[in-house]
Amino acid sequence: MSISPGDNVGPYRIIESLGQGGMATVFKAYHPALDRYVAIKVLHPAFKEDPNFLARFRREARIVARLDHPNIVPIYDYAEHEGTPYLVMRYVEGKTLKAVLREGLMPPDRALEIIRPVTAALAYAHAQGVLHRDIKPSNVIRANDDHIYLTDFGLARIAQAGDSTLSQDMLIGTPQYISPEQARGATADERSDIYSLGVVLFEMLTGRVPFSADTPYAVIHDHIYTPLPLPTSINPNLSHEIERVLLKALAKDPDARFATPTELMTALDQAVAAAPPPAPTAAPIPVAVPVPSASAPTPTPVPVSATAGAPSTAVFAPAPSKPQRRWSRKQIAVGMAALFLALCCLCIAAQAIAPRLGRVIPLSPAATRALRMTPDPLQMAKDQVTANPQDPRAHLALAEAYVKAKEYEAAFAEFDQAIKLDPKLGRAYLQAGKLATSLGEFDRAAKYFQYGREAMPEDLDLLLAQGDLFFKWKKYEDAQTAFEKVLRAKPDSAAAMWRLGDVYRVQGKAADALREYSRAIVTDPNLPEAHYGLGMLALGRGATEEARRQFQIVINNPETPPDLRDQARKQLEKIGEKP
């Protein structure tokens, strides 16, 4: 059935088409009996393929029509025209939020003015047991009087409950705003609406949606698996308080999100209030203008400001006198000590460069004493062992001092002594095993980790390090077993998740690796190792822009280990990007 301007649909006269979406076509119509304009949503004819659709349509429309809230577009009527169902709603003159967003980035205070009535409408609907399921900017209307409306309640529910081919397509009708659980086909609840509203808010504050791709299925995949890009990486002017609200609203796990729209709005209000104000514009400093006495000489006027074509304005001000600073005895003592240290350093430097000048400058007695007073960490550790030969921690400290001095065999001997004195000293096994791993002595490392695990089977740090050894040894099945054991003992271990992701990635199991990296970042959003893994996966599938973004996150993170930062820089250089 085709409806055109001039047609009659029930008692309504079609005036013009307002737009068409995946589920319905919207018309402006006139109702002569009530002398008012209305909006009519005519659902897609394909819904008629579902024999149970009309009964479901009447039931759902009746529920939604009972919603009575100042920020919800009311439904006046619902019926069928030649077997095609339609809804009759209030006609609101204004702009959709989608059109408003085309005007540019929205400041937080303006975003609050729009989001506040939307959350109020959602909270009311949720209290009535009604979900929206399709929150997006085109379903938020700003009327010409600036009143905000939320529309299309329940329309997605009416469509998705059906068995027609079209109803299956509705799942991806607006993929940019769909929640991960809806994308998986799981049961949606109030928190799904909160996620979709979080996407809208993200777009309002950053100027773009979190995920976009060439196909709807690629966007859905990102909603399920890809970590949310940090809002401040897109809009650096956003405060960290507002960013935290967005991260919580857009958590992939529904349990980690805000429980209600009211809770989201409260957090957003607090975040905006706590955000630092913009830097104030420098104001002119008032200068006192003294009135010269008759006996005083007239000073030469100095123009402070002048406008072209206007007379200069002269301001007379005496030069401010600097207050005399008084030094305390403590400040004098500190200054003398600093001066003494500087002289010592100067003498040492002179001694170092003197041979190049052809002569040797002897150190002063004071500089010699200062050098003798400089503590030697290795010697101090040795002295501790001499003073406490039965203290395992003294031997452990000496072993670590030997490692820094690159005296590795001496370090292993002290690790062994510490373990002999205290077989439960987990750090000794751990450091010795890591040292052997770094030196490529995998058999030696395996023995340390094995003995440590036998002595302390519950030590998860040892188990992680043992998995790292197996990974470096290319014993991937053993590494996977170790990391999975950690996750069974501690399901929220992000350290085990990203390591397991690495195991899957090097084995070519991209989907499994993506799942583990995503889980790790949901647990710890700033985890550099997981972001690096995501960058490598993106490179593997040719998503250069995503890879570039992930590697840049690794480089910018102050907690990234230096070697991992270097690897990220190298990957950026390979794809032609300067870090």
134, 152, 193, 222: the active-site residue: 134
Whole-number Å distance between alpha carbons of 577 and 128 = 53
164: enclosing H helix or E strand? none
Say whether 269 is catalytic: no
How would DSSP label each residue in 218-273? Answer: HHHHHHHHSPPPPHHHH-TTS-HHHHHHHHHHT-SSGGGS-SSHHHHHHHHHHHHH
Three-state secondary structure call for residue 200: helix
Eight-state DSSP code of residue 138? G
Question: What's the pLDDT score for residue 532?
Answer: 94
Eight-state DSSP code of residue 565? H
Question: What's the pLDDT score for residue 62?
Answer: 84
Q: Which residues of the chain are under the pLDDT cut of 50?
A: 159-173, 279-326, 354, 356-361, 371
Question: What's the pLDDT score for residue 61?
Answer: 81
Which domains, from first to last, does the chain contain? 8-90 (3.30.200.20), 95-274 (1.10.510.10), 377-574 (1.25.40.10)
Cα 252 to Cα 185, 196, 266, 577, distances in angstroms:
14, 11, 21, 30
Cα 274 to Cα 141, 259, 270, distances in angstroms:
29, 22, 6
Question: What's the pLDDT score for residue 134?
Answer: 87
CB 167 within 8 A of CB 159: yes
Question: What's the pLDDT score for residue 219?
Answer: 86
Residue 80: both structure tokens together: 């069928």
CB 30 within 8 A of CB 13: yes
pTM more than 0.85:
no
Whole-number Å distance between alpha carbons of 271 and 241 = 5
Whole-number Å distance between alpha carbons of 351 and 302 = 55
